[in-house]
């Protein structure tokens, strides 16, 4: 019996979504708007001040919502900067220390 690669209707959709999320500047044609550049500068400044990726709670709410709207997620914004976001385990350890 052969395996059907599209056994679930969302398999192909999820794979396309993952590939799209890993591509920088997806949907913008490669050019960032001035507003997006300012958002990334603010995120980069906070990253530099903390010396690590900020936790969700450490971002001002307006910036967090704007980044999520512009880049799809905080992870997407970090990928645009070429920085690595915190893993779930690292974030959990930081929250536990606070």
**pLDDT values of the chain reduced to their tens digit, one per residue, 98 residues:** 555 555 565 556 556 655 554 445 444 456 889 999 999 999 999 999 999 999 989 999 999 999 999 998 889 999 888 888 888 898 889 888 87
Cα–Cα dist 24/34, whole Å: 16
Give me the pLDDT at residue 26, please: 47
Cα–Cα dist 44/48, whole Å: 6
What secondary structure does DSSP assign to 12-73, as a single string? HHHHHHHHHHHSTTTTTTTPPPHHHHHHHHHHHHHHHHHTSPPPGGGS-HHHHHHHHHHHSS
Look up the pTM and report it: 0.66
Give me the pLDDT at residue 84, please: 85
Backbone angles phi, psi at 6, to 5 degrees: -105, 45
- Helix (H, G, I), strand (E, B), or coil: what is residue 68? helix
């Amino acid at each position: 019996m052969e395996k059907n690669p599209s056994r679930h209707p969302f398999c192909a959709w999820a794979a396309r979504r993952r590939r799209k999320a890993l591509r920088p500047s997806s949907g913008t044609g490669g050019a960032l708007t001035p507003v997006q550049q300012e958002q990334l500068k603010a995120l980069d400044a906070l990253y530099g001040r903390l010396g690590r990726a900020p936790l969700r709670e450490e971002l001002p709410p307006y910036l967090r919502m704007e980044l999520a709207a512009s880049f799809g997620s905080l992870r997407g914004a970090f990928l645009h900067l070429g920085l690595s976001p915190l893993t779930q385990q690292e974030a959990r350890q930081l929250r536990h220390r606070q």
